[in-house]
Amino acid sequence: MKTMYIAFLAVFILFSCNDSGKKDTSYRPDSVGNINNLQVVIDNDLWNGPVGEEIRTYFAAPTDGLPQDEPLFTMNQMPVSTFTDFARTNRIFLHVSLGKEDNVKIAKNEYARPQVGAIITATSEEGLIKLIEEKHDRIIEAIHASEIQERQRRTKVSMMDTDSLKEQFGVSLKVPSAYRLANSSDDFYWLRKNLKSGTTNILIYQVPLNTITNDSMAVSQIIKMRDSIGGDYLPVEDEGRFITEDAYAPYLFKSEIDGHFAYETKGTWEVKGAFMGGPFLNFAVKDEKNDRYLILEGFTYAPSVEKRDLQFELESILRSAKLTN
Q: How many Cβ atoms sit within 10 Å of the Cβ of residue 173?
A: 23
Number of other CB atoms surrounding residue 184 within 10 Å: 14
**Three-state secondary structure string covering 121-148:** EECCHHHHHHHHHHHHHHHHHHHHHHHH
Q: pTM of the entire structure?
A: 0.89
Residue 15: predicted pLDDT? 40
Q: Which residues of the chain have pLDDT under 50?
A: 1-23
Nearest alpha-carbon partner for 102 in 128, 134, 80: 128
User: How confident is the model at residue 9, as a pLDDT?
Assistant: 43
In order of start, what are the domains of the chain with their CATH numbers?
A: 15-155 (3.30.379), 163-323 (3.40.1000.10)
Q: Tell me how many helices (H) and strands (E) the chain has.
A: 7, 15
What does the pLDDT look like over 271-289, one tens digit per residue? Answer: 877 778 899 999 999 999 9
The per-residue b/e assignment along 301-315, b for 16 or more CB within 10 angstroms, e otherwise, is bbeeeebbbbbbbbb
pLDDT at residue 14, rounded to an integer: 40
pLDDT given at position 7? 44
Contact 254, 222 (CB under 8 A): no
